[in-house]
């Protein structure tokens, strides 16, 4: 059965993220799902079958943009979670999303999907525009040997791995550096990510001069003066926000930012499965939750105060 087009009125370069499940086999204390909502639980969403995801996502038009006469850019799609391999139709989704998607899966490379002979991995069809990023969470008691074994299984299944990340937890930097060196022996692109959230009463990330940690993956946070006001989860205020994101919750609800998705906020753009036209504000919109923003939403997003003063967390401002 053919499906009506799903028109999502956003610029081509908007970030599209499909959170096909928020479930995870780990409970990392620094998980971005939790750090922006210490006083409430993460929203619970029912899962949707893979065929619904595939039909809806493949029916979004205009996913190619001509770069020049020969080359067309394809729309990027991040498949994320939680741990996306826990979705029962994970392989079906990857194998049936059409070629106009350029897909990046982010996984912790651990759990039932990677166990034994990892049959699921071998069932994933090889395609040019599919890659995995991995994250190693040694604080969850997963041994480095086991993680490396799963990285090798993934590569042997013919799946391209782009980056492997380790969160640079300020209390475990020696281990982080040790594991980084170890992982670089099996994969060239291993990056230490900045730690987000609170550690010993301080909100991270801190300005670089307060660290002795080398971070290969820089997020967009450079304005350390304004960062705590928006991201410390202490008090709310009204702010104009400009977002270029389209985030699909596990039930298809569409949100503009991680805070709203993780809390199941009433302010949503609609639902991917129930609506044919979703319109995203291209301009600033008013939000009353500034103060509870998630660090994943700090990068490059402009804000504007009610008096009209604009600022950006990604731009460096002296303390
Ligand atoms: S593996 Fe990732 S999604 Fe799962 S708890 Fe840890 S940080 Fe969160
Ligand atoms: S101000 Fe913060 S909480 Fe509100 S929409 Fe923007 S990023 Fe989300």
CATH for 39: 3.20.20.70
Q: How far is CA 187 from CA 33, 149, 207, in A?
A: 27, 12, 29
Question: Residues 212, 290: one domain?
Answer: no
Residue 69 domain flag: yes
The secondary structure of the chain as a DSSP string is: ------EEES-TT-EEEEE-----S---TT-HHHHT-TTSPPP------HHHHHHHHHT----EEE-SSS-EEEEEEEEESS-GGGSTTHHHHHHHS-TTEEEEEEE-S-SGGGSTT-HHHHHSPP-TTEEEEEEE-GGGT--HHHHHHHHHHHHHTT--EEEEEEE--TT-HHHHHHHHHHHHTT-S-EEEEPP-EEETTEEESPPGGG-----SB--S---TTTHHHHHSSS--EEEEE---EEEE-TTSEEESSHHHHHHT-S---EETTT-SEEE--SS-EEEEEETS--GGG-TT-EEE-TTS-EEETTS----
Beta bridge partners of 166: 136, 192
Please, are residues 295 and 221 in contact by the beta-carbon 8 Å criterion?
yes
167 ligand 2 Cβ < 6 A:
no
CA of 282 from ligand 1 middle (Å) equals 31
* 25 CA: nearest ligand 1 atom: 4
User: Same domain for 278 and 288?
Assistant: no
68 and 147 assigned to the same domain: yes
Cα–Cα distance measured from residue 65 to residue 289, given in angstroms and rounded to the nearest whole number: 35
Indicate whether 269 and 164 sit together in one domain.
yes
Judge contact between 65 and 104, C-beta under 8 A.
no
Residues 232, 162 share a domain: no
Which residue ranges have their beta carbon within 6 Å of ligand 1?
24, 26-28, 31, 33, 81-83, 108, 135, 137
Percent of the chain with pLDDT over 90: 69
pLDDT of 73 > 80? The answer is yes
Q: Are residues 108 and 91 in the same domain?
A: yes
The answer to the question of residue 207 being in a domain is: yes
User: 251 and 294: one domain?
Assistant: no
Residue 74 has φ and ψ, to the nearest 5°, of -110, 150
The Å distance, Cα 85 to ligand 1 centre, comes to: 12
Contact predicate 20/103, CB 8 Å: no
Note whether residue 115 is domain-resident. Answer: yes
| Ligand 1 atom at shortest distance from the alpha carbon of 81 | 3
Q: What is the whole-number distance in angstroms between the Cα of residue 279 and the centre of ligand 2?
A: 17
Within a domain: residue 110?
Answer: yes
Q: Are residues 191 and 78 in the same domain?
A: yes
| Separation CA 38–CA 268 (nearest Å) | 22
Percent of the chain with pLDDT over 70: 96
Which protein residue's CA is at the shortest distance from atom 7 of ligand 1?
A: 31
Render pLDDT for 81-105 as a digit per residue (tens, 0 to 9).
999 999 999 999 999 999 999 999 9
For the cut 50, the answer to whether the pLDDT of residue 154 exceeds it is yes
Segment 54-71 shows an average pLDDT of: 86
The total domain count for the chain is 2
2 within domain boundaries = no
Pocket test for ligand 1, best of 19, 21, 33 (most atoms within 8 A of CB): 33
Q: Is there a domain that residue 1 lies in? A: no
More confident residue, 315 or 136: 136
Tell me, yes or no, whether 260 and 236 share the same domain: no
Q: Do 229 and 262 fall within a single domain?
A: no
Q: What is the pLDDT of residue 1?
A: 42
Residue 150: exposure state from Cβ atoms within 10 A (0-12, 13-18, ≥19): buried
Asked whether residue 317 falls in the same domain as residue 211, the answer is: no
**Chain mean pLDDT for the chain:** 90
Same domain, 74 and 173: yes
pLDDT at 218: 66
In sequence order, what are the beta bridge partners of 47? none
Higher pLDDT, 216 or 78: 78
Q: Is pTM, for the whole model, over 0.75?
A: yes
Read off the pLDDT of each residue in 267-284 and give the average, rounded to a whole number. Answer: 87
The parent domain of residue 315 ranges over 222-242+284-319
For residue 84, tell me if it sits in a domain.
Answer: yes
Cβ distance 9 to 278 under 8 Å? yes
């Amino acid at each position: 059965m053919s499906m009506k087009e799903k028109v999502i009125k956003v610029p081509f370069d908007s970030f599209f993220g499909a959170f096909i499940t928020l479930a995870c086999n780990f409970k990392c204390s620094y998980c971005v799902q939790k750090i922006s909502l210490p006083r409430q639980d993460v929203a619970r969403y029912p899962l949707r079958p893979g065929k619904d995801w595939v039909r809806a996502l493949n029916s979004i038009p205009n996913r190619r943009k001509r770069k020049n006469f020969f080359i067309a850019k394809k729309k990027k799609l991040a498949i994320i979670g939680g741990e996306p391999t826990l979705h029962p139709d994970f392989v079906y989704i990857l194998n049936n999303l059409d070629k106009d998607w350029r897909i990046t899966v982010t996984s912790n490379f651990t759990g039932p999907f990677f166990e034994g002979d990892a049959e699921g991995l071998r069932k994933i069809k090889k395609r040019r525009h599919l890659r995995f990023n991995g994250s190693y969470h040694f604080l969850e008691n997963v041994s480095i040997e086991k993680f490396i074994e799963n990285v090798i299984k993934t590569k042997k299944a013919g799946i391209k791995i782009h980056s492997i990340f380790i969160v640079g937890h300020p209390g475990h930097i020696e281990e982080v550096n040790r594991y980084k060196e170890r992982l670089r022996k099996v994969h060239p692109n291993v990056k230490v990510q900045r730690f987000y959230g609170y550690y010993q009463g301080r909100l991270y990330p801190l300005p670089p001069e307060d660290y002795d940690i080398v971070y290969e993956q820089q997020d967009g946070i450079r304005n350390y003066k304004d960062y705590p006001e928006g991201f410390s989860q202490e008090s709310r205020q009204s702010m104009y926000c400009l977002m270029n994101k389209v985030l699909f919750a596990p039930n298809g609800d569409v949100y503009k930012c991680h805070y709203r998705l993780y809390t199941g906020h009433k302010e949503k753009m609609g639902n991917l499965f129930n609506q044919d036209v979703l319109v995203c504000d291209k301009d600033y919109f008013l939000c009353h939750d500034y103060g509870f923003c998630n660090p994943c939403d700090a990068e490059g997003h402009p804000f504007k105060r009610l008096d009209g003063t604009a600022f950006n967390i990604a731009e460096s401002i002296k303390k």
